[in-house]
Amino acid sequence: MAIWVASTFIKISMFYYVIVLGMAQWLNLSDFRPIILPIGFLLIVVSIWSTPNLLEMVHFLSTYEAIYLIVPQTFIPLILLGILWVRKKVKGSKRGNTHAQNA
């Protein structure tokens, strides 16, 4: 059980770090530390608002969880992989054209 709790803590910490770092980059901030507390407060408020009691959370997890987990764990990585693939193709074609023009 200790391993389960520790791994959950690490997972939540990593998601929190990624959210804060991504938000700082999105807002073009030079340092991410000023937004740690406000985002943490918002996460706590949203977590209490979304599942106010254990019964509602168990109902949600038993009925809708699979639907909500498919999008962030499958489609978003596939979309990012597609974007990466397109960027590599575009960058490769630009390199090929500039190399051909220099010759």
pLDDT tens-digit readout, 1-32: 999 999 999 999 999 999 999 999 999 999 99
pLDDT given at position 24: 95
| Backbone phi, psi, residue 29, to 5° | -85, 145
pTM score above 0.85: no
56 alpha-carbon distance from chain centroid: 25
| Segments making up each domain of the chain, as ranges | 1-50, 54-103
CB atoms < 10 A from the CB of 40, how many?
13
What gap in Å lies between CA 22 and CA 36, rounded to an integer?
11
pLDDT given at position 72: 83
Q: Is the pLDDT of residue 99 over 80?
A: no
What gap in Å lies between CA 20 and CA 64, rounded to an integer?
27
Residue 64 is which amino acid? Answer: Y
Give pLDDT tens digits for 28-87: 999 999 999 999 999 999 888 888 888 988 888 888 888 888 888 889 899 999 999 999
